[in-house]
Each structure stands twice: as C-alpha cells, then as structure tokens.
C-alpha cells in the first residue's frame, strides 16, 4: 500500500454513519420479541431521531449487518439463543467498526467487563434505562468507537511508516529482515532454498552530486517501479537504504530463479530512465546468496549477499555474482584493511614518501610527488596501490586526503631550495576527494596553516574525474587555478577519452601513464601513442611529465621526443621527507652528473 493510500485511510470515515445532525441514526435493535423495553425508548427520544431496524434473533441480526450499514447496534444478551458475551464474537466479525451497546435484565459487573473485552462500548440494565440515558449512551458509544477507529488507523499508519520506505512505498530494511527470517523459518525445515539478491545502483552518487537529490529520488522511484514489475508471486522486493534494494525468492528453485531474475534486471536497466525530461542509462550490481548453502540465518545471508554484490561491482557495471567462501575471505580482508585504515589515521601510522621529479634539461630536481604509505604492524610498509581502492569503497578518501594534503604541505616547507629555486610539491587527489564540497576548504587550510605558497602546490587529478564527474571536476579545477595552484592530469592516456575535456579544463599539464613508458623502447605502438600524447599536449600548450622511467634507454628516447620532465625509480625511489630533503641538501647537483644526462 502506498503512502497516499495510507493518507486516504487516515482521512476516511467509518461505517458508523453521519453525525447526529445530518439525519436519523440508523440503529439495529436485536432483542427478545417478548420484551418491549428498548424500542419505545428510541421512539420517545426528542433530541435525535432514530431509524430503527428490529430483529428478534442473532442470526437475523448478523444477516442485516452484512446487508446494510448501521450507526449503532443494540444487542439484548437475554435472547433465548444468546450465549452471553459469546454472542458478540460473530457480531463483531460481521461489523468491525459499528459500535455495540449491550443490555440485560439484571446488573452483572462480570458480564459487563466481559462485554467490554468482546468489543461492546457500553452495558445497560433494561429496568434502569430511560430515553435520555439510552440516547446519551448511543452517542457516547459512537464517539468512543470513532476515537478507537482513529487510534487504530493511526497505529496502522505508524506501523506502515516503521516498515516501509516513504519515498518508494516499498518495504524497508526492518520489513525485509522480518520477511527473510520468516521465509527461512518456513523453507529450511522442508529442505527448501531461499535466494537473497542484493542490488546496488552503479555510480548513483554521481547522479546525486551532478543532478541533485531531487533527480536522484526520481531515479529511485522509477527503479522501484521497474523492479516491482519484474517480481513474481514468490518475490519480495524492499528498499533497505540509499540506492540499495533486496529481493527475496523462495519455492521457485531459487538458484536458477535468482540467476534468471538477475539477467532480467540487467536487461531492464538497458532501457533509459527519463529524469527531468532527459534520458539517462543506469546500471546495477547484484550479489546473490542462497540459503542454506551460504547461511541459514538472515544476518549471515544478508552479509554474504552484500559481499557478492561488492564482488560483482568490482568486475564492472551491470553484473551479478553468487557468493562463495573465497569472497568471504576477501570481504574479511577488506574489512580488516578498512578498519585498520581508520586506526592508522587515529594512531598516526601513516607516512608520506616523496619521489623526485626531474628537469632533464637542467639536470635538477624540480619537484616531488607525495605518496601515502601505511606502516602496518604485521604486513610492514603497504603502498597506496594496495589500500586506496578499499579507502574509496569505505568512504575514507576524504579523511585520508585531508591528512595527505595537510602533512605534505607542512613537510615540504622544511626542504632546501636548489640553486635558489623551491621544489614543487605534487599531490595526487582521488576523484571522490576532488569532487567533495569540502575540498576547497581543505586546500586553503592546508596551505594557510603550513605557510606554503599556493604556486608551489600542484594537484594531480585523474582521467576518471574528468570523464565521470565533469561538472564537479571543472568547478574544482577553476578554484585551484584561481587560488594559485597548478593542476595536471595524472596517468594520462589510460581513460576511454579525456581528449575533448582538455580543451575546456584550465589545466597546466599532463603526466603520461607509466604503462606506456614501460615498453616504449621495445614497442612501436607504445612509442607511437606516447608521441601522439606529447603532440596533443604541445598543441594545447601543456607541460608533459613522463611517469615510471626505469632505465637510461627510456630516458634517452623520451628526451628525443621532447620530454624534459620525468619521474621514476631511475632518478630515485620514494623516500620519507627527512631522507628526501637530506639527499637534496647533501648532493644538490646529483642530476648534473654527465652519466645521468642524455647524450
């Protein structure tokens, strides 16, 4: 049921009829034909008129309740076939919202209490009843019934809100967990399987960041509708938070059914979503866990489906994956690394190493790239290539990036100059951090607190940032240039196509990815690609730095192609700040050695 349906439910009236002032009250009187105490009292009423339907046995009364609507029911518990308060039970089933008033020949407190428990609004003794008391009792009974009905509807709506997602109207995490527990309790004793599919939209954050949360909400609503249309009678769909959905399948041969449904979901995602009158194509990653093979309790099954989803996502967009024990090991490893990173940030177990960037024409160190390293208690020094993607998945890039910028700016200010020229600091910034709204403040605070001149700071951005979040990237680059920093594109040439973006982005240079440099001497293809990248950069008046230079042959070839700025182990491995500064201080002309210069 949708939220709108529940709002209608809350506003709707009940079967107890109109107010007293809108016409006669329709009363069903079920009493003994031999007695005539109540009917005359209804007829004698002056403050309100009654439209009375009178029957003399319970069976006839039940029939009238099914066929007609009444504002109140008056039931005589002294009928011959009456079984006391047990007579109320079928009557309450026949008319759940109509207020009942019961009466008897004698006062009996125990009977009165039982009548209330069975749903009667009041209890009267015939001999003590007059017209005014009867009218007041009926009015009060109707009012109490209305209050109870309003309370019941409020509780029903409260339960709906507690168990449903307000945006999409789907069951929420609480309801899905309960449904999964009940599905497992029903299926496992009969040796049946239950499949849990965990869905996560690919790159949903980009939609929210670039188009706004309103458009993101539109997408989630459309996604919910599209998935709902794929559900069979044995499928249960819920939105458990953000861009995450789960589907529970049972009694359908779950493994084959889950695989088939995952394929249908992938096909359904191929159709564009229309958001703000524009078409967008969104994909989803699906993780699948099967009970009892992958877990016999709801929490374990949910955790394993989540693990499988992450594995599917790591393999590319619009994929599905089944859980396996090997994935569980990887998930534990991921958790250990993510948790360890948080501890490392708190315990100052991270360090920065710096790799020299050289100007071959001058034979001098012109800059240094900051590289974060993790000093792990058991694994030793861990390079960023082994933990940065975990940091991105865990949302730790912002905290990690803040620490790197702050620490790098502080450490570089203590370095010596080379022939009067300060060394340029290059800090690579991941896409998540670059596009975060707090990034400008992080840069300004790091520079201000360290006393570093903005012109000495170069920010390296990735092709991924340019290709997948162009708007936010453009805004960040413009801020950096206005602030006085330099901006270069890291690992250039590895993206699908960032060439067109180079014309509009106000950047200063590119760094050719090491994958092209590694085989540049032996591969004519890599050499041609590198030559082409250099030509593009020159045409756009951008500086060029070659990454990953490992030997003299690569240096000579790159120098012949016109590349004067290089970086790689041939010139020096990454070293801690103090060691890097000492090397420069003790041997500032190291790169002027004729053996290191190209012929």
Is residue 292 reached through a cis peptide bond, with omega within 30 degrees of 0 on the bond before it? yes
What is the structure's pLDDT at 65? 81
Q: How confident is the model at residue 590 (pLDDT cuts 50, 70, 90)?
A: low
pLDDT tens digits for range 168-222: 999 999 999 999 999 999 999 998 899 999 999 988 887 887 788 889 999 999 9
Is the pLDDT at 7 greater than 50? The verdict is no
* CB-CB neighbours of 27 under 10 Å: 22
Is the pLDDT at 548 greater than 80? The verdict is yes
Q: Which among 171, 325, 327, 322 is positioned nearest to 246, based on CA atoms? A: 171
> Tokens in use for 314?
């790591």
Q: How confident is the model at residue 498 (pLDDT cuts 50, 70, 90)?
A: low
Is the pLDDT at 444 greater than 90? The verdict is yes
Q: Which CATH architecture has domain 173-323?
A: 2-Layer Sandwich (3.30)
Average pLDDT over residues 256-278: 87
pLDDT tens digits for range 349-378: 889 999 999 999 888 899 999 999 888 777
What is the structure's pLDDT at 176? 95
Q: What share of the chain is helix, strand, coil (3-state, %, to 5)?
A: 50, 20, 30
Q: CA–CA distance from 268 to each of 41, 112, 271, 525 (Å)?
A: 68, 61, 6, 40
- For residues 129, 130, 134, 135, the Cα torsion angle rounded to the nearest 10 degrees is -170
Instruction: Please report, for the chain, the start and end positions of each structural domain, with discontinuous segments joined by +.
Output: 3-162, 173-323, 337-588
Q: CA–CA distance from 377 to each of 55, 345, 347, 382, 555 (Å)?
A: 87, 14, 12, 10, 38
What is the structure's pLDDT at 85? 57
Classified as helix, coil or strand, 52 is strand
What DSSP assignment string belongs to 523-583? -HHHHHHHHHHHHHHHHTT-EEEE----SHHHHHHHHHTT--EEESTTT---EEHHHHHHH
d(CA 123, CA 107): 9
Which of 45-59, 71-85, 296-310, 440-454 is predicted least confidently?
71-85
Query: Which are the contacts of 73, defined by CB distance < 8 A and separation ≥ 6?
Result: 27, 28, 30, 61, 65, 91, 95, 98, 99, 100, 101
Q: How confident is the model at residue 458 (pLDDT cuts 50, 70, 90)?
A: very high
Q: Which among 372, 378, 325 is positioned nearest to 350, based on CA atoms? A: 372
**According to the CATH classification, is domain 3-162 in 3.40.50.2300?**
yes
Which residue reads 């009041």 in tokens?
122
Which residue has better confidence, 499 or 463?
A: 463
> Tokens in use for 47?
């403050």
What DSSP assignment string belongs to 452-517? --GGGEEEEE-HHHHHH-HHHHHHHHHHHHHHT-EEEEEEET-SS--HHHHTTS---EEEE-HHHH
Q: How confident is the model at residue 337 (pLDDT cuts 50, 70, 90)?
A: confident
Dihedral sign, CA of 62, 63, 69, 73? negative
Is the pLDDT at 443 greater than 90? The verdict is yes
Which residue has better confidence, 483 or 586?
A: 483
d(CA 235, CA 251): 10
pLDDT tens digits for range 271-303: 899 988 888 888 999 999 999 999 899 999 999
What is the structure's pLDDT at 97? 76
Q: How confident is the model at residue 593 (pLDDT cuts 50, 70, 90)?
A: very low
Q: What pTM value is reported for the model? A: 0.57
User: Do 79 and 51 contact (CB within 8 A), yes or no?
Assistant: no
Mean pLDDT (the chain) is 84
What is the structure's pLDDT at 126? 82
What is the structure's pLDDT at 248? 95
pLDDT tens digits for range 124-178: 888 888 888 988 888 888 888 888 888 888 888 888 889 999 999 999 999 999 9
pLDDT tens digits for range 381-399: 888 877 887 787 777 888 8
Classified as helix, coil or strand, 358 is strand
Q: Which among 592, 586, 598 is positioned nearest to 362, based on CA atoms? A: 592
Considering the chain, what percentage of its residues have pLDDT values greater than 70?
89
Helix segments in 348-483, DSSP class H: 388-393, 397-412, 431-434, 439-450, 463-468, 470-483
d(CA 475, CA 466): 11
CATH classification (class only), 337-588: alpha beta
What is the structure's pLDDT at 253? 66
Is the pLDDT at 13 greater than 50? The verdict is no
d(CA 519, CA 534): 16
Q: How confident is the model at residue 91 (pLDDT cuts 50, 70, 90)?
A: low
Residues 306, 311, 317, CA angle at the centre, nearest 5°? 105
User: Do 409 and 446 contact (CB within 8 A), yes or no?
Assistant: yes
d(CA 255, CA 291): 10
d(CA 303, CA 185): 18
């Amino acid at each position: 049921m949708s939220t709108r349906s529940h709002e209608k439910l809350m506003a709707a009236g009940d079967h107890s009829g109109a107010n007293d002032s809108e016409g006669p009250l329709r009363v069903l009187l079920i009493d003994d034909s031999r007695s005539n105490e109540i009917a005359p009292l209804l007829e004698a009423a002056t403050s309100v008129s009654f439209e009375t339907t009178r029957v003399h046995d319970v069976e006839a009364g039940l029939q009238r309740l099914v066929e007609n609507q009444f504002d109140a029911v008056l039931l005589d518990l002294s009928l011959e076939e009456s079984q006391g308060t047990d007579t109320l039970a079928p009557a309450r089933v026949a008319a759940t919202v109509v207020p009942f008033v019961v009466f008897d020949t004698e006062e009996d407190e125990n009977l009165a209490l039982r009548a209330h428990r069975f749903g009667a609004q009041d209890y009267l003794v015939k001999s003590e009843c007059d017209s005014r008391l009867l009218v007041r009792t009926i009015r009060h009974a109707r009012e109490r019934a209305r209050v109870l009905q309003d309370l019941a509807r409020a509780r029903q709506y409260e339960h709906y809100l507690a168990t449903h997602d307000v945006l999409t109207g789907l069951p929420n995490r609480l309801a899905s967990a309960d449904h999964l527990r009940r599905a497992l309790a029903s299926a496992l004793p009969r040796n049946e399987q239950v499949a849990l599919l965990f869905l996560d939209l690919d790159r949903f954050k980009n939609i929210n960041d670039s188009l706004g949360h309103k458009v993101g909400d539109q997408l989630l609503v459309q996604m919910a509708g599209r998935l709902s249309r794929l559900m069979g009678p044995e499928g249960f769909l819920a939105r458990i938070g953000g861009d995450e959905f789960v589907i529970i399948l049972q009694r359908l041969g779950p493994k084959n059914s889950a695989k088939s449904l995952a394929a249908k979901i992938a096909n359904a995602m191929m159709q564009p979503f229309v958001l703000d009158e524009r078409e967008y194509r969104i994909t989803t990653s699906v993780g699948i866990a099967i009970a009892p093979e992958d877990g016999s309790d709801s929490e374990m099954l949910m955790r394993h489906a989540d693990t499988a989803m992450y594995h599917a996502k790591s393999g590319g967009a619009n994929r599905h994956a089944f859980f396996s024990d090997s994935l569980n090991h990887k998930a534990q490893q991921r958790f250990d690394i993510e948790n360890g990173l948080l501890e490392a940030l708190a315990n100052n177990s991270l360090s920065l190493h710096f790799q020299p960037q050289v100007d071959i024409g001058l034979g001098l160190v012109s800059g240094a790239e900051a590289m974060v390293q993790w000093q792990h208690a058991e694994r030793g020094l861990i390079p960023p290539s082994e933990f940065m993607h975990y940091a991105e998945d865990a949302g730790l890039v912002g905290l990690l990036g803040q620490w790197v910028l702050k620490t790098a700016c502080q450490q570089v200010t203590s370095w010596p100059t080379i022939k009067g020229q300060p060394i340029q600091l290059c800090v690579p910034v991941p896409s998540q951090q670059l596009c975060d709204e707090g990034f400008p403040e992080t840069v300004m605070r790091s520079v201000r607190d360290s006393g570093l001149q903005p012109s000495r700071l170069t920010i390296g951005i990735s092709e991924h940032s340019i290709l997948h979040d162009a708007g936010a990237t453009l805004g960040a680059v413009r801020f950096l240039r206005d602030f006085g920093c330099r901006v270069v594109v890291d690992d250039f040439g590895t993206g699908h196509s960032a060439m067109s973006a180079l014309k509009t982005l106000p950047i200063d240079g590119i760094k050719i990815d090491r994958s092209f440099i590694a085989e540049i001497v032996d591969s004519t293809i890599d050499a041609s690609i590198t030559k082409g990248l250099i030509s593009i950069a020159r045409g756009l008046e951008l500086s060029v730095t070659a990454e990953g230079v490992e030997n003299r042959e690569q240096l000579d070839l790159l120098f012949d192609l016109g590349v004067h700025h290089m970086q790689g182990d041939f010139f020096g491995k990454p070293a801690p700040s103090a060691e890097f500064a000492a090397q420069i201080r003790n041997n500032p002309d190291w790169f002027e050695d004729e053996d290191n210069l190209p012929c």
